[in-house]
Amino acid sequence: MKTPVFFRTAIRALPLLLLACSPKTDPNPIANGEADFSRYVAVGGSLTAGYMDGGLYRASQLASYPNLLAQQFRFAGGGEFIQPLFSEEQENGSGYLQPTTLNPLQLAPVSDRLALRSSSPTLYTKFSGENQNFGVPGLRVTDVATAGYGAAGSNPFFERLLPTGQEQKTYLAYVSEAKPTFFTYWLGNDDLLGYVASGGTRPLSTLADFTTGTKQLFDALAASGSKGAVGNLPDPTLLSLLRSPAELMAYRNDKVGPYWIATGTGEVRVANETDRILTTADSIGYLSAAGFPKGFFKIYPLQNADVLDADELLQLQQALEGFNAALRTEASARDWPVADLNALFRKAKQGYLDYDGTRVETDLFLDGQLSANSISSFDGVSLNPRGQALVANEFIDAINRAYQSQLNRLYVGRYTALRQGK
């Protein structure tokens, strides 16, 4: 069933490109330093897999930062990088959101050329053979030792990676078989995003469980003696999914206010500028049986699941700080560098010019208008190809500093900021 998403906004005139071309790099071999890139493996969750626009599909997989890194590694002794790509015949994979109209912007799910082999439970076409991108959409650190995580009815993205009959294998066991010479690790975003997307109603992973899972995966990667780089976790409040009341009013072009919300403690009050409202709260303004528009009256407020109030935001920040401290401590103990992706996203939230002159912003909408410079995909949570290229560059910088390699950075302006529908 199609459930279009509406963004009530004007749109700047801007080019909507298809997937950008590959970056230009020096064809001559470059120094790999102390790193051996001959067998590169990427460990992570949604963003590592290339999840984009609310789904995973062939073009998004090709735009993933591990694939972009592998292209640069090839000039420093890197080998072939094999991803679990959806076939060209089933290129739309799980499906994703694409524009159907541009003003106002309306999104609808793609429904053709999908890789579905079952809709109940959801199962995707199996991928068989060698794999080096271990990114699994939805994977949390606290899931890595869970037997049956790849079974039918659990995570279909992991299920498609496992051979038939091995669905009880844990993600930890899957990684333990990898034997890379070099790896990147960026896992933990989904431990935070589930809480954010639910308005704080879904529990956060505990720090103890997060630390245990991190240690287990790090030990598995260290067992082969490989070198690697770890990415820390960006603050989810920097993403386009959340808005302050003032930002949401401009984003929706609402002429009246304020918004009324129900907090996590059950209090009903006017939303203030310390609260964050989910842009997915698309029931705002719906009329009750008595004729009251939702969110604009105390008797018909936005529900707790639509809002992160100040207390819930504090819990989120405490979890983020604890998770990043655990990643930093465990990486330091193994002499692995940490790419500071949290700092990158904070800088992008303010807007800045990248070294190639490209303007970079996190917000999908600025001042009520669609941004041509955003690194967010249409779901407001995951990254578009330009955002993936920025992440790749942050890893490249960390790798070059730690291992004295001379990998070339990507020109992020060559990568698409917004994607046009078919």
Domain contains 257: no
pLDDT higher than threshold 60 for residue 43: yes
Distance from the Cα of residue 236 to its chain's centroid: 10
Using pLDDT thresholds of 50, 70 and 90, give the confidence band for residue 419: low
Domain contains 36: yes
Provide the percentage of residues in the chain whose pLDDT is more than 70: 89
Domain contains 249: no
By DSSP bridging, strand 242-243 and strand 133-135 are unpaired
Nearest to 339 by CA among 237, 238, 416, 409: 409
> Residue 224 sits in which domain range?
5-242+316-414
pLDDT at 254: 74
Mean pLDDT, rounded, of the chain:
89
* Residues near 177 by beta carbon (within 8 Å), at least 6 away in sequence: none
- In the predicted model, what is the mean pLDDT of residues 417-421? 61
- In the predicted model, what is the mean pLDDT of residues 254-279? 88
Rounded-to-integer distance, Cα 162 and Cα 152, Å = 11
Domain contains 158: yes
**DSSP structure string for 404-419:** ---PPPP-GGGS-SS-
Contact 142, 209 (CB under 8 A): yes
pLDDT at 99: 81
Range with the largest mean pLDDT of 19-28, 253-262, 289-298, 332-341: 332-341
CB-count exposure of residue 28 (10 Å: 0-12, 13-18, 19+)? exposed
Rounded-to-integer distance, Cα 245 and Cα 260, Å = 10
Rounded-to-integer distance, Cα 257 and Cα 287, Å = 15
Q: How far lies 156's CA from each of 174, 354, 398, 405, in Å?
A: 15, 37, 33, 37
Rounded-to-integer distance, Cα 391 and Cα 345, Å = 9
212-228 in b/e form (b: 16+ CB < 10 A) is bbbebbbebbbeeebbb
Which domain CATH number covers 236? 3.40.50.1110
Residue 266 Rama label (left phi>0; alpha psi -120 to 50; beta):
left
- In the predicted model, what is the mean pLDDT of residues 112-133? 96
Domain contains 118: yes
- In the predicted model, what is the mean pLDDT of residues 275-280? 87
Contact 46, 138 (CB under 8 A): yes
Q: Which of 74-83, 104-113, 205-214, 412-421 has the lowest mean pLDDT?
A: 412-421
pLDDT higher than threshold 80 for residue 255: no
Rounded-to-integer distance, Cα 37 and Cα 190, Å = 27
Q: How far apart are the first and last CA of the chain?
A: 19
- In the predicted model, what is the mean pLDDT of residues 80-92? 98
* Residues near 390 by beta carbon (within 8 Å), at least 6 away in sequence: 344, 348, 354, 360, 375, 383, 412
Residue labelled with tokens 């291992």:
403
* 153 three-class SS: coil
For residue 109, the 8-state DSSP code is E
For residue 361, the 8-state DSSP code is B
For residue 47, the 8-state DSSP code is H
pLDDT at 5: 39
How many distinct structural domains can be found in the chain?
A: 1
Using pLDDT thresholds of 50, 70 and 90, give the confidence band for residue 292: confident
Distance from the Cα of residue 115 to its chain's centroid: 21
**DSSP structure string for 293-336:** BTTSBTTBPBPGGGEE-HHHHHHHHHHHHHHHHHHHHHHHHTT-
Domain contains 283: no
pLDDT higher than threshold 90 for residue 4: no
Q: Which of 6-10, 18-22, 315-319 has the lowest mean pLDDT?
A: 6-10
Using pLDDT thresholds of 50, 70 and 90, give the confidence band for residue 284: confident
Contact 214, 338 (CB under 8 A): no
> What are 340-381's pLDDT values in tens digits?
999 999 999 998 888 788 899 988 876 666 788 899 999 989
pLDDT at 104: 64
pTM above 0.75?
yes
pLDDT at 103: 61
Give the containing element (helix H, strand E) for 174: helix 171-176
Domain contains 226: yes
pLDDT at 408: 97
pLDDT at 418: 67
Q: Give the Cβ contact number of residue 152 at 10 Å.
A: 12
Residue 82, CB half-sphere, CA atoms under 13 Å: how many?
Answer: 10
pLDDT at 156: 98
Domain contains 123: yes
Nearest to 186 by CA among 400, 39, 387: 387
The amino acid at residue 321 is E
> What are 145-192's pLDDT values in tens digits?
999 999 999 999 999 999 999 999 999 999 999 999 999 999 999 999
Rounded-to-integer distance, Cα 25 and Cα 209, Å = 42
